[in-house]
């Protein structure tokens, strides 16, 4: 006997899209992989914020993490490029069409090793987009070598003992001049979503370094990038609430207990203090906090650094026209015959 279950009316967002329209192809990652949970966060945040999927351009390098753009926002163009050098591809595309909403996913190997140079230059150029590093301390796709973010003393079945110091991608980003730097944990969906929303509202490059456990190669008991470790050790710098431009601020907090950060598009992130006196708008303080965390092996998460004023993006730096280069007509692209004649006149 067939039973009909009353299906609840599908929720639609500002643009009239259902959440399903933000999904991608089925994931082929290992069940339980942290990267999949980040993909889900992207889907729900883009749905909730009413991000226009046709305007999104997804970018990635190579790795398990870099495969994920195929698994979210199936209505958006995506470019799975080469290992470590997605930043350059994204730069070319975003400079060409400044209307695109850039959403990039990389891995700790992709960004921290082969792609370190491009990462730093992406930061330096302040290419406006969201850049997520799905950080598992290991090379997943090549089956378990250490990445440059692995902590000293970590052990892997394949690779043995790691004795090299880790690279802190958040610190690298801040030193490079990044204007939005956050760290989070795939096992903390609320925080990941709040940070993603803030990142999408940021004018400029937003870096999210999200610890994203690799359940196959680096989720064992003594791993510092495991779910268990993260759940036990995560220290949030603050409790975050994202409030859209149109919304009223209804979170209640007492004076001095929270910092409201006004984003460029009018939205606000309210950072309710958990750790006394952490000010994410202070660059030097951010760097010292990261350094202290490294020293004491603390897993701090939250919005580590943000700067909202005078952020010159690459479009500003290139003094570009509002009209995207991709929209130029043939007449705008090719100067006239008279223009050629006048150039030639100087060469006779």
Partner 1 sequence: MAVVDYQTEQQPAEIAREDVNINDFAIIVATPNGSGSQTANNTILRACFNMGIPVTGKNLFPSNIKGLPTWYSIRLSKDGYQARRHKRDVLVAMNPASFGDDLQSLEPGGICLYPDDSRQELSRSDVTYFPMPVKELVKNSGVDASLRDYIANMVYVGVLAHLLGIEVAEIESALNKHFKGKQKAIASNMNVVNAAVAWAAANITTQSPFRVERMDKTKGMIMLDGNAAGALGSVFGGVSFVAWYPITPSTSLVDALNDYLPELRINKETNKPTYAVVQAEDELAAIGMIIGAGWAGARSMTATSGPGLSLMAEFTGLAYFTEVPCVVWDVMRMGPSTGMPTRTGQTDLISAYFLSHGDTQHVCLLPSSIKECFEFGWRSFDLAERLQTIVFVLSDLDLGMNQWISEPFEYPTEPMDRGKVLDADALTAVGDWGRYRDVDGDGIPYRTLPGTNHPKAAYFTRGSGHNQDAKYTERSDEWVANLDRLARKFETARTIVPTPITVNEENATIGILSYGSNDPAIIEALDRLREANINAAYQRVRALPFTKEVGEFVAKYERIYVVDNNYNGQMAQLLRMEYPELAGRIIAVASCDGLPLTARWVTESVQKGEA
Binding site for partner 1 (CB under 8 A): 25, 28, 53-55, 57, 59, 69-70, 74-82, 85-97, 99-100, 117-118, 121, 318-328, 330, 332-335, 337, 339-340, 343-344, 346-348
Q: Does 38 bind ligand SF4 (CB under 6 A)?
A: no
CB of residue 211 to ligand SF4, shortest distance in Å: 12
Q: Does 140 bind ligand TPP (CB under 6 A)?
A: yes
CA–CA separation, 180 and 174 (whole Å): 8
CA–CA separation, 278 and 269 (whole Å): 15
Q: Which two tokens stand for residue 305?
A: 């650094």
Interface of this chain with Mg ion, residues 118 to 147, rule: CB under 5 A: 136
Q: Which does 157 bind (CB under 5 to 8 A by kind): partner 1, ligand TPP, ligand SF4, none?
A: none
| φ, ψ dihedrals at 42, nearest 5° | -65, -45
- Secondary structure element (H or E) that encloses residue 146, with its range: strand 145-146
User: How would you classify the pairing of strands 234-236 and 299-306?
Assistant: parallel
Tokens 């891995």 label which residue? 107
Indicate the residue among 145 and 308 with the shorter CB distance to ligand TPP.
145
Among positions 217, 227, 229, 305, the unique one binding ligand SF4 when judged by CB under 6 A:
217
Indicate the residue among 217 and 229 with the shorter CB distance to ligand SF4.
217
Q: Are 127 and 313 in contact (CB under 8 A)?
A: yes
Q: Which does 141 bind (CB under 5 to 8 A by kind): Mg ion, partner 1, ligand TPP, none?
A: ligand TPP
CA distances from 198 to 19, 314, 318 (A): 20, 20, 25
Interface of this chain with Mg ion, residues 265 to 294, rule: CB under 5 A: none
Tokens 């859209």 label which residue? 244
In sequence order, what DSSP letters do the residues of 234-293 get, joined into one string? EEESEEEEEE-TTS-------TTTEEEEE-TTS-EEEEEESSTT--TT-HHHHHHHHHHH
Nearest residue to the partner ligand SF4, using Cβ:
140
Q: Does 216 bind ligand SF4 (CB under 6 A)?
A: yes
Q: Which two tokens stand for residue 226?
A: 């495991």
Interface of this chain with Mg ion, residues 101 to 120, rule: CB under 5 A: 107-109
Q: Which two tokens stand for residue 120?
A: 């730093």
Q: Does 29 bind ligand SF4 (CB under 6 A)?
A: yes
Q: Which does 300 bind (CB under 5 to 8 A by kind): ligand TPP, Mg ion, ligand SF4, none?
A: none
Q: Judged by CB under 5 A, which stretch of 47-55, 99-107, 203-211, 234-242 contacts Mg ion?
A: 99-107
CA–CA separation, 177 and 307 (whole Å): 10
Interface of this chain with ligand TPP, residues 204 to 233, rule: CB under 6 A: 214
Please give the size of the binding site for ligand TPP, defined by CB under 6 A.
Answer: 18
Q: Does 215 bind ligand SF4 (CB under 6 A)?
A: yes
CB of residue 290 to ligand TPP, shortest distance in Å: 20
In sequence order, what DSSP letters do the residues of 199-238 get, joined into one string? HHH-SSEEEEEEE---TTTS-STT-TTSHHHHHHHEEESE
CA–CA separation, 264 and 205 (whole Å): 12
Tokens 């207990």 label which residue? 257
Q: Which does 142 bind (CB under 5 to 8 A by kind): Mg ion, partner 1, ligand TPP, none?
A: ligand TPP
Choose among 242, 216, 221, 217: nearest CA to 231: 221
Q: Which does 30 bind (CB under 5 to 8 A by kind): ligand SF4, Mg ion, partner 1, none?
A: ligand SF4
CA–CA separation, 228 and 180 (whole Å): 28
List interacting residues with ligand TPP (CB under 6 A).
Answer: 62-65, 83, 107-110, 134, 136, 138-142, 147, 214
Please report, as ranges, the residues that interact with ligand SF4 according to CB under 6 A: 29-30, 33, 35, 64, 136, 140-141, 214-217
Write out the residues near Mg ion by the rule CB under 5 A.
107-109, 136
């Amino acid at each position: 006997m067939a039973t009909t279950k009353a299906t609840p009316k599908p929720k639609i967002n500002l643009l009239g899209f259902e959440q399903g329209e933000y999904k991608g192809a089925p994931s082929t990652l290992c069940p339980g992989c942290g990267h999949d949970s980040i993909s889900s966060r992207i889907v729900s945040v883009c749905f909730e914020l009413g991000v226009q999927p046709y305007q999104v351009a997804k970018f990635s390098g190579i790795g398990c993490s870099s495969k994920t753009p195929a698994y979210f926002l199936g209505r958006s163009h995506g470019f799975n490029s080469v290992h470590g050098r997605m930043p350059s591809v994204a730069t070319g595309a975003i400079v060409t069409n400044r209307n695109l909403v850039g959403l990039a996913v990389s891995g700790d190997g992709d960004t921290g090793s082969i792609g370190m140079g491009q990462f730093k230059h992406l930061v330096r150029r302040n290419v406006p987009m969201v850049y997520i590093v799905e950080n598992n301390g290991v090379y997943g796709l090549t089956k378990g070598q250490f990445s440059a973010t692995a902590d000293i003393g970590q052990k892997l079945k394949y690779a043995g003992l790691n004795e090299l110091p880790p690279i802190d991608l958040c610190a690298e980003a801040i030193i490079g001049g990044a204007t939005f730097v956050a760290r989070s944990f795939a096992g903390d969906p609320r925080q990941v979503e709040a940070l993603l929303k803030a990142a999408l509202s940021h004018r400029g490059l937003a870096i999210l370094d999200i610890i994203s456990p690799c359940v196959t190669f680096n989720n064992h008991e003594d791993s510092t990038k495991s779910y268990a470790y993260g759940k036990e050790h995560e220290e949030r710098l603050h409790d975050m609430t994202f409030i859209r431009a149109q919304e009223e601020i209804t979170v209640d907090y007492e004076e001095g207990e929270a910092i409201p950060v006004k984003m460029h598009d009018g939205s606000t992130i309210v950072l309710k203090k958990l750790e006394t006196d952490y000010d994410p708008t202070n660059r030097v303080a951010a760097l010292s906090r990261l350094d202290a965390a490294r020293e004491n092996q603390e897993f701090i998460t939250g919005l580590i650094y943000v700067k909202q004023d005078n952020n010159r993006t690459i479009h500003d730096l290139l003094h570009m026209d509002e009209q995207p280069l991709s929209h130029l007509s043939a007449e705008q692209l090719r100067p006239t015959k008279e223009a050629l004649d006048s150039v030639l006149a100087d060469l006779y």
